[in-house]
Chain A
Amino acid sequence: MMKRKDPPGGAKDAQGRPPNTRNNKRVKVQDARNIRTQPSDAALEDGKLDLNKFLSAREFEIRALEKSMAKCKAVNATRVFQMVPRVMRRRTASHNAKRVPKRLQVQARKEMLEDNTPTVESRKRKPRTTRARIRAETMKKLRYLADKKKKKTKKADDGTVEESQPKGKGVITTRAPRPKIRRNMLNEPPKADSKFRKRQIHKTWLPTHLWHAKRATMTTPNSPLWRFAIPLTSTAKSYRPTHRASGQKGAVAWDVSYMSTIGVYGTSDGIERVLRSLGLVQEGLWNARGKKWRAGVRKWTGILSSQHKNGRRDIGPATVVWNPEPPEPSSDEVETSSSRPKKSQRQILVRTHPSCFLELFEELVKLAKGQKPQLYVEDLRFEIGSIELIGPGSTEALLGILEPFHETPETAECHASVFRSLAGVTNPASLPKDAILAFSAKDPRLAYPPKRTQIPDGGEQTLLKTLIEWPVEENLKPYSIFDRESRYQASRIPSQKSVNRRKGANAPGEPIKVTAADPPIPILLLASRPATDGQAQGTWTMLAPWKCIQAIWYCLMHYPLTTGGNPRLGGLEEQRQIAFEHGTPWFPGDFPATNAGMNWELEQRAKRRSDWDRRPKSKRLEWKSLDLGAGRKGEIGDGLACDFEHLLGLPKSEAPRTQERSDAVPIPDPAAEAMVLDPPPERVESGGTQGPSQSPLSSIETISLVTKSAFNALVKSADAEQPPAGSIVTVNMEFITRGVAKPCARIYRLPSKPKVNVVSSTDAEVPATPEISSSGLPTDLREQWLAKVPSQASGNNNTSRKGRSGAPRMPAGVDMETRKKTLAQSLLTTELPYPRPAANQVDIGGHPLCPNEDDLIGFVTTGAFSLSEGRATAIGSISAGRALETLRDTGVREGKFCIVRNAGESVGWLARWELV
């Protein structure tokens, strides 16, 4: 059997090795590694050392060493594809010469020949399994049949032309069928291309799936996320580049077509009632302040909630956009039309996260059916796709690819001109709050490749004028993205093939002219500000018909930013990262008080558990033997979970799979059927845990969230009002000195002050032993922790360490006097108590101990070192009751200190929490 490394045939050389390039290379390497030396006796002359000769010999040796080092570096085993910059390397170990840039292909081919790299085209590989063999045979047969058919038709074409269909006679032309959108029911995902249909049985691909699958880590085939194949993170290293692109230079783009859109239409009163019962109860939305929102020129983003037996419960974040009313007909038209004023019919879009989509849809259907006259709900999940952008270059990237469709002054859309005037905006947060722009755009492929946007002369002044006045309300027309017909027309954009053909016929460099075949693409742009104010970047969200997303995405990814490079691609991880750097909670991971968030948490638990189980016993954390100091053993609660059940004293919940929906919201019958049908039955066994219809109805579903404003009101209220039992608040923590929190880290409050037992004033002398309270902890634990807070004036935080450092060492060779002095000093500075107590009894190597379990207030859901803060931050949830108690007892400053200890570690670190 021949080895892969040995090329076939060939004679052998003198050493018995076949003479080939590979052996030549080996010789070269050996030569490079060989360092020449000169024997030292050459410098000896009659027993005397000739210094000159000796030195020159050493000099020669050093030269030889350096030369060898350089040579080794030159001949080492690098392949040519390793010269490609990392961002351009699509596959890490690309041995395929066709995959490297053209200029390197010749060299790569040569290297492959030298190495005898096997080159197999998977298409032409001989089938090995029975299944593959059968498939190959079928393919062969089909090919034969297709050939036969082709021949037949060709013959028919040659022979009988007159047999073609009679034209213009009895032929009825109808419009092509549009995809059905059922009212109050869930819709089917778009029918996949037959080639890819089998891979999309349990999930749906994003419109840009094929592009992403080559460049990003996707969810694994049998565990999709929220019934979609979602890119998780880019295959190239991207943590720091994403941070830079999102804040300083560049742009990051996501295909977030998995976000679900729901349309609701009916009378405006009915819609108002539905929205109010979904939790949009702020008066500011329904009085004069909310006029712009209701007119459709602003959006609303917030948390929706639903009414349950025991109070309200959050569903998840959503964005609500109204469709503007059609312009009122002029007065004479009103007279001619029916005298009875028609009740105004309105339309809204609700855009939400797929993990809470089903819950919201059920709730909406229930509410819509309860209205009189009835409202209708449409599931527009696969009708409308979306792209999200962040970064200083996001606006210019959008400007570079979206050109208004209507350009003549008569037909020009007002929003389109406002959008074009945004050239020079480097942060969508500098637009008015919650701004919306809706217009029709040209197919971006007509002007491919996209060009850099130029800022017009004196653009700064006009830009500021636009930003202040924001003239979007003149002759407002209904947005075409709400219109099913225009969405459908837009989804029939010409194929890439025909665009290419037109481009070929066109002069080079010229944009392709718009013809009747190019439909306008309805676009809805939403500008959102970060939750935290300041200079942080805002986000653009572009909604467009699902079928147009791919064309837009390809152009977007090739837009040349003025600061260099192209927009980066982002995945789910990047979305979490940016939310974390902005200090905002990410849905669903940081929302354990919602069903979607709890599902996420349970999945994460299962994942951590299986990872832990897979490790050998000797290499995994033994939770029971964790030493927390002062004789406390074992982790509090489950070490692999953000154990809110333990914290709030709820019965233990089980894995998300095993629960059945028992007393959830009563579902209207047809919708319920559709929903039961919607997840295919195989899915239940498929092992994934993402089915939105499964929600663990258990004890943890009773956890509720207290909002920031509600909590602040509770803090301010004079009477000892208590938050509802089992409620939590979401907080953002910043570490004060050191420490990095990981998910599942435990959050403690500072231990309460010891009960006042002031001994008489004789406590001038130091007590011989540190006082130990009944719980086994030092009584001054709170002071120990507070001493860790750097004082404002000096900023010196290591005073405690200095004080605790041991006695100075006795210097060697000093006189008796100094010895005595040093000894006396050491006696005085010896730490008391003098034999020190056992390790981890009063402190952990000088670090204060963690408080007891009754001071546990919550868990960290996301934590890492934050590149934007330059220190570790974390986002977590803490028990509202305990937090409020602490704030009332110790005041706002000290009450907000907390101690964060990672699960499985005994050392905690001081942090400060803020509500988010």
Chain B
Amino acid sequence: MASPTTQSPVGAQKPLSNRPENKLPPIPDGSRIRKRPLPVPPHQRTFKSAVSAVNLQNQTTPDIDGYLLPPRANHTQIIKVSSSASHMSLVKRVRKALESARNSQQGTTKGLPLAARIAALGVKNGKPDPTGPISDALDDVVLIATGRAIQKAIEVGASFTRERDLMVVARTRTVQAVDDIERVDEGAEEEDSARLRQVSCVEIGVRWAS
């Protein structure tokens, strides 16, 4: 795991978190794995950066792969893709979220503290500086999928690449999930335990091009 100070460039030698020697040992006999629900990326509102409406907070902590998560706009809607979801329903949900994002981009300051509201008054309703370092990832909608659902998310994302006024970005990530190891037979003397598992995850960001 890399610390925030040692930000290695892409392609540099870096110990992989899923090297063979890091693989999990097989579960003991007579046990089985019960998956806990996957952690959901927290939806955070920051009050500091109200003017740019950008969430900078999770930029400071890197991923387990040493990857800095791109900042998220406050209005970003996260859609979790399940493998059983239908394609059209996902497309509709993305469209709806995009529409509401377009409407809300006019900049609502509701729920912000007074100082931030006053600060927002001074700014001429401008979009964040396009040349800034963080401008490339302010997705309006993010589709998140793991495992079997990855294909579905990619398909939905691909269907949006055909549209001129939308931009689609795909990112891969690793998510950590917790598994319970349970004894199958009731009379077993051992206790249940828990362990960590790495899950590959894909994020499809969709946003308005203009």
Binding site for B on A (CB under 8 A): 282-284, 287-289, 291-292, 392, 424-427, 429-430, 432-433, 452, 455, 457-458, 460-461, 463-464, 467-468, 470, 533-536, 538, 560, 562-564
Does the CB pair A287–B187 fall under 8 Å?
yes
- CB-defined contacts of B178 to chain A, threshold 8 Å: 430, 464, 467-468
In the complex where A284-B187, A467-B194, A468-B194 touch, is A457 in contact with B61 (Cβ < 8 A)? yes
List the B side residues contacting A458 at CB < 8 Å: 61
Q: Find out whether the CB atom of A288 lies under 8 angstroms from the CB atom of B191.
A: yes
Please judge, given known A-B contacts A288-B189, A288-B191, whether A457 and B60 are in contact too, CB under 8 Å. yes
What are the residues of chain A within 8 A of B183 when measuring CB–CB?
289
Chain A residues, Cβ within 8 Å of B34: 533
Choose from B37, B189, B190, B191 the contact partner of A430 (Cβ within 8 Å): B37
Interface residues of B in 183-204 (CB under 8 A from A): 183, 186-192, 194-196
**CB < 8 Å neighbour of A426 from B39, B186, B189, B195:** B39
Whether B61 contacts A429 by the Cβ 8 Å rule is no
A462 CB to closest chain B CB (Å) equals 11
Question: What is the distance, in angstroms, from A431's C-beta to the closest C-beta of chain B?
Answer: 8
Of the candidates A288, A289, A427, A534, which one forms a contact with B40 in the assembled complex, judged by CB atoms under 8 Å apart?
A427
Q: Known: A289-B191, A562-B44, A563-B43. Contact between A427 and B37, CB under 8 A?
A: yes
| A626 → B minimal CB distance (Å) | 38
With a cutoff of 8 Å between Cβ atoms, the chain B residues found around residue A463 in the complex are: 39
A287 touches B189 (CB 8 A): yes
In the complex, the chain A residue whose C-beta lies closest to that of B182 is A433
Contact B39 A460 (CB under 8 A): yes
* B131 CB to nearest A CB, Å: 27
Residues of B near A283 (CB, < 8 A) are: 186-187
- Having A288-B191, A427-B37, A430-B36, one finds 20 other A-B pairs with CB under 8 Å, namely A282-B186, A283-B187, A284-B186, A289-B183, A289-B186, A392-B40, A424-B39, A424-B42, A426-B39, A430-B39, A430-B178, A433-B192, A457-B60, A464-B178, A464-B196, A467-B178, A533-B35, A535-B37, A560-B111, A562-B44
Range of interface residues on chain B? 20 to 34
Q: Using Cβ atoms and an 8 Å threshold, which residues of chain B touch A288?
A: 189-191
A276 to B187, CA, bound (A): 16
User: Chain A interface secondary structure, helix, strand, loop or mixed?
Assistant: loop
| CB of B70, distance to nearest CB on chain A (Å) | 16
> Would you call B38 an interface residue if the criterion is a C-beta within 8 Å of the partner chain's C-beta atoms?
yes
By the criterion CB–CB under 8 Å, are B45 and A464 in contact?
no
- Chain A residue at minimal CB-CB distance from B179: A468
- Tell me, rounded to whole Å, the shortest Cβ–Cβ distance linking B189 to chain A: 4
What does DSSP make chain B's interface, helix, strand, loop or mixed? loop
Selected from A289, A427, A432, A460, the residue in CB contact (under 8 A) with B189 is: A289
Which of B35, B37, B176 has a CB less than 8 Å from the CB of A464?
A: B176
Give the A-B pair count, Cβ closer than 8 A: 78
9 shortest interchain CB distances as A-B pairs: A284-B186, A426-B40, A288-B189, A458-B61, A427-B37, A430-B36, A468-B194, A283-B187, A535-B37
With contact pairs A283-B187, A427-B40 given, residues A460 and B45 touching in the complex (Cβ less than 8 Å): no
Give, as a whole number of angstroms, the nearest-CB distance from A628 to chain B. Answer: 36
Given the complex of chains A and B, what is the CA–CA distance between A392 and B78 in angstroms? 13
Is B65's CB within 8 Å of the partner chain A? no
Question: Which residues of B lie under 8 Å from residue A289 when comparing CB positions?
Answer: 183, 186, 188-192
Cα–Cα distance between A455 and B36 once the two chains are bound (Å)? 21
- B contact residues around A535 at 8 Å (CB): 37-38, 82
What are some 16 contacts across the A-B interface (CB < 8 A)? A283-B186, A288-B190, A289-B183, A289-B188, A289-B190, A289-B191, A429-B37, A430-B37, A430-B39, A433-B192, A455-B42, A457-B57, A457-B60, A458-B61, A460-B176, A535-B82
Q: In whole angstroms, how far apart are the Cα atoms of A415 and B64 in the complex? A: 27
- CB nearest to B46 among chain A residues: A454
Q: Restricting to B2-37, which residues have a CB under 8 Å from any CB of A? A: 34-37
B90 to chain A, nearest CB (A): 14
In the complex, chain B residues whose CB is within 8 Å of the CB of A536: 37
Q: List the A side residues contacting B42 at CB < 8 Å.
A: 424, 426, 455, 562
Chain B residues with CB under 8 A of A432: 180, 194
Chain B residues with CB under 8 Å of A433's CB are 180, 192
Q: Of B57, B61, B82, B195, which is within 8 A of A460 by CB?
A: B61
Report Cα–Cα, A245/B68, bound state, in Å.
Answer: 31
- Give CA–CA (A288, B188) in the complex, Å: 8
Complex-state Cα separation, A455 to B58, whole angstroms:
10
Chain B residues near A464: list those with CB within 8 A. Answer: 39, 176, 178, 196
Report the separation of the CA atoms of residues A433 and B179 in the bound assembly, to the nearest whole angstrom: 11
CA distance A87 to B180 in the complex (A): 41
CB closest residue in chain A, given B194: A468
C-alpha spacing A425/B44, complex, angstroms: 13
- Least Cβ–Cβ distance between B14 and chain A, in angstroms: 18
Return A208 CB to nearest CB of chain B, in Å: 26
**How distant is the Cα of A282 from the Cα of B186 in the complex, in angstroms?**
7
- Complex Cα distance, B191 from A284, in Å, reads 10
> In the complex where A460-B61, A464-B178 touch, is A291 in contact with B191 (Cβ < 8 A)?
yes
Report Cα–Cα, A457/B3, bound state, in Å.
13
Q: Which residues of B contact A470 (CB under 8 A)?
A: 194
- Measured in the bound complex, the distance between the Cα atoms of B64 and A464 in whole Å is 12
Cα separation A709 to B18 with both chains bound (whole Å): 39
Of all chain B residues, the one with the shortest Cβ separation from A291 is B191
The CA of A430 and the CA of B35, in the complex, are separated in Å by 9
Q: Whose C-beta in chain B lies nearest to the C-beta of A452?
A: B45
In the assembly, what is the distance between CA of A535 and CA of B40, in Å? 11
Nearest-Cβ distance from residue B139 to partner chain A, whole angstroms: 17
Shortest CB distance B1–A (Å) = 8
A129 to chain B: closest CB distance in Å?
A: 50
A534 to B177, CA, bound (A): 13
- A393 — nearest CB in chain B belongs to which residue? B43
Within the complex, what minimum Cβ distance (angstroms) separates A416 from chain B? 21
Residues of B within 8 A of A425 (CB): 39
The minimal Cβ–Cβ distance linking A529 to chain B, given in whole angstroms, is 9
Smallest CB gap from A429: residue in B: B37
Q: B8 CB to closest chain A CB, in angstroms?
A: 18
The CA of A535 and the CA of B147, in the complex, are separated in Å by 14
In the complex, chain B residues whose CB is within 8 Å of the CB of A430: 36-37, 39, 178
Complex: A284 Cα to B188 Cα, angstroms: 7
The smallest beta-carbon distance between A107 and chain B, in angstroms, is: 23
* Given A457-B61, A464-B178, A467-B178: A562 in contact with B40 (beta carbons within 8 A): no
CB proximity of B198 to chain A, nearest CB, Å: 11
User: In the complex, how many angstroms separate the beta carbon of B188 from the nearest chain A beta carbon?
Assistant: 6
- Expressed in whole angstroms, the Cα–Cα distance for A430 and B39 within the complex equals 8
In the complex, A538→B42 CA distance in Å?
17
Provide the residues of chain A in CB contact with B35, threshold 8 Å: 533
What CA separation (Å) do A427 and B40 show in the bound complex? 9
Residues on the A chain within 8 Å of B37, using CB: 427, 429-430, 534-536, 538
Query: In the assembled complex, which residues on chain B have CB atoms less than 8 Å from the CB atom of A468?
Result: 178, 194-196
Cα of A433 to Cα of B37 in the assembled complex, Å: 12
